[in-house]
Chains A and B, each alone.
Chain A
């Protein structure tokens, strides 16, 4: 158990819908990272927050947005869902955010868009 929790574990929805994925980092970790893992594209970095502020952005679509709240939990919002958005979404956390140190991964949310 990494100490990072993600909910829900599974999510099935239809095209065009909007979903929210939630992540609680390990106690004491200030950085939260979101990744998308699909079969054909491997692990794609989406976005990073550090202590409530966006710090780095990867291949995140405009239909996707995220935020980190004062209690440090984070939410990833996916809207106008398409079939290709079906993937595993991982959240990770780390103490700092400066390219060093271990990232601790949550168990992931499996999103299926029908």
Chain B
């Protein structure tokens, strides 16, 4: 099937690390993305990783990719209340028109 799966909710305390997980569908996907949606707004790209990489770090964000298990994760270090949002993973395959979003994980950061 073409479902990109994520857990629906995650709650963490301010200052802790958050880990948001995603299982994607197609091992031929070339690019994997993380988007953030703040309340009342559209989605914004946070970061992305090429499928030939295992890890990418971008300031407080770390993306880990396990191609064998088709598992993607986003770690947010030192989570802040401003990180409260819905996080979507998405997969795309170069040379096709495929671009599939996950179900979204609602992150709540407790002060």
Contact = CB atoms under 8 A, between A and B. Distances in A.
A13 interface: no
A107 B99 contact: no
A42 B98 CA distance: 18
Interface residues of A, number: 24
Contact of B45 (A56, A97, A102, A106): A102
A24 B23 CA distance: 32
A106 B42 contact: yes
Interface residues of B, number: 23
Contacts of B42: 2, 4, 90, 92, 105-108
A42 B86 CA distance: 10
A43 B43 CA distance: 10
B94 A43 contact: no
Most buried by B among A98, A99, A106: A99
Contacts of A102: 33, 45, 48
A99 B104 contact: no
Interface in B1-52: 30-31, 33, 41-45, 48
A52 to B, nearest CB: 15
Contacts of B41: 107-108
A42 B103 contact: yes
Interface of B: 30-31, 33, 41-45, 48, 88, 92-104
